[in-house]
Structure 1
Amino acid sequence: MANNHLPGPHRKIIHIDMDAFFASVEQLDNPELRGKPIAVGGSEDRGVVAAASYEARKYGVRSAMSSALAKKKCPDLIFVKHNFKRYKAVSRQVREIFNYYTDLVEPLSIDEAFLDVTANQHGHESATEIASEIRQKIFEQTKLTASAGISINKFMAKIASDINKPNGQMTIKPHEVLLFLERLPISKFYGVGKVTAEKMNSWGIYNGYQLKQHSLEFLVQTFGKSGQHFYNIVRGIHNSPVQPDRIRKSVGTERTFAKNLVHQDDIVSSLFKISTTTADRLCQNNSKGKTITLKIKYNDFSVQTRSKTIQNFTQSKELIYENIIELLNQKALNLPVRLLGVTVSNLEIEEERNLQTNHQLKLSF
């Protein structure tokens, strides 16, 4: 057996994940959809599934799957148009529950977050009990269920939250971490995708114990920068703190069309609308950006992207649109267009934070 010494210090981290959030909200609001396989987003013939109910997941329907493939897997699948305004309202309710227990809340998305409850608002000693209370309050206030993982760091808490879904929780205590990781299939490691898992399998690595037998040098040589990460996590080492002020790195808008766009005028008109929506979102987030990116997906599902970094930060829809059209004119559009996207990154708020951090580092020496 490998060395089972687990380095400290440890935090009390909870990962909360709302169960099939978009789909569950739709089933809550529309009783006729309850117990049925539904997909939120897209349409029966076009688009992409944003979320699938657990009834649909039994057929293999997953988020980010094309609507056509989802319908093929589940012929009785019901497609529901998304209602982001409603989802955001529920998300705010859930966030208020989190904040009752701790100020250290790091949202990962609209439906999941990390909480550091090591030093919580009410002096609770048990993170497991806090997670139970949070899940109960979420259900009482929203009538929706959530799953939770509790452990010593974000990596372990994230893995734990997937074990007893839906509507359950799992605690992995400090003395359980290393043995748990050694037994965990490599495909279940958070952050190890299908391609990486297959590569690991080719080296005879199917679980944490087998991963642990390889040296840091081997892992870096074989997996590049990720090698250090794999070396650490299988030993229970993940020092990333819960960051309540996570900085948004980009703001963007994508649109999948009911019919492919083949005429330049239609593409240009659509890009104006998408650029305007992106600019509006920048204003809502009080952000400006320098890097503007155009994304085009064709009817054969091939994707092209092209970016341009301008001199000054902007949230102007006119300036964004002007640069998007310039990027469009640099492309040869040889196929019908299925999807268009406009993203603004390299945000001003991000750069300001980096400058503040650098300043603080200098002051500390």
Structure 2
Amino acid sequence: QNQLETTHQKPVPLPTQLLDLQRQFETANQQREQLYSQVSQLQSQLENTNQERSGLDFRVLELQNNLDTINHERARLETRFNELQIQFETANQERTVQEATLTQLYSQVSALQSQLEKVTQECAPLQTQLLALQSQLDSVSQEREQLYSQLSQLPSQRETLPQEDTQIQSSVPKESQLVKKFQPEEKVSGRSGLIVCQEGSGDYSTIGEAIAHAKPGTHIFIRPGVYKESLVIDKPLEIIGDGPLAEIIIESEDSNCLLMQTDQALVRGITFSETGRHYTVNIPQGKLILEECDLTANSNYTVVAIGGSTANPIIRRCQIHDGKWNGIWVSNNARGTVENCEIFDNGSSGIGIGQGANLIIRGCQINWNGGKAIAVYNKGNAIVEDCDLTDNASGSWDIEQGGYVQSSRNKESDK
């Protein structure tokens, strides 16, 4: 009304109004188009938002499923953890019980070990006495065999000799007859047996052939020569040098000069020379009587090895020298007797005894060795009587823990 009044007061030309209305209409159309465009954009954004929302809803659902799975796995792991914790506690309890039991066992073992050591100490003198008795028994057995041999010869002697000669012979002391029996002989070919001679005048030219063909109990007489071979005695035999000791030589490089592989045998009056890295004489078993021999390892190895629970040799009146290590090595519960031998110029001890071995040593000269005269250790036992143990590089004795020695009437150095 006011406008109308104003219009009436001031009349506006119609063309001008029409032009203004037309402009306003165009402006409204532009604004409408802009609004349509904005609505279209908003609708497009809304659709995009809805699509993203659907993806997010799906992703949320997946995450929810994963979370449920994780919670389920967590519950299972918690259950397993509780079970393991219970098992761990049970194991700790069992471990405590076992530790207590083990402590008791250690205490019992310690007590048993103390008792065993005490028994071992008590048994050592008994073993030594037993060894001495065994040696005496062996000597008595040998004397008995010799007496039986002499008695078997008496009937023939009575038939061929006058009565007076028979009475004189029976009055000769037994000791003088035994000494006569073991005196060195230049030749023994008059006795029955096999003869080995390299020159071809005997039964065989090698000792190995003679041993292979000999029957148990056969005497094999060796004539002078250098026999490059290794002897294996696998049956009861007597192998005797038939000539000067220095001229009857068995030399070996690839193996032992002599290997004992039977219960009993006798070897006398032979030089054994080992030129390789082997024992000159190896005695793992049996009762080998080794008499009046010269044994050397030429500074390559130990000269004589005695090892094995059934080994019980007797070594008499031998020279044992020039071993790289020991002159004689006794081990592995072996026994033996060494009498009236000369043991010298060996790189280590003259005699070594260990690993439960027992050895009787009587009347020996053990000198000029690179270590001790006698070494005893690791449950080794030795009876040493009437020996000369002087002039060795490290003294007379090396008695380690576990070794036992019964010594009497020996000549010892001050070291």
Q: Calculate the TM-score normalised by the size of structure 2.
A: 0.21
Q: Which has the larger radius of gyration?
A: 2
Q: Larger relative contact order (C-alpha < 8 A, sep ≥ 6)?
A: 1
Q: Calculate the TM-score normalised by the size of structure 1.
A: 0.23
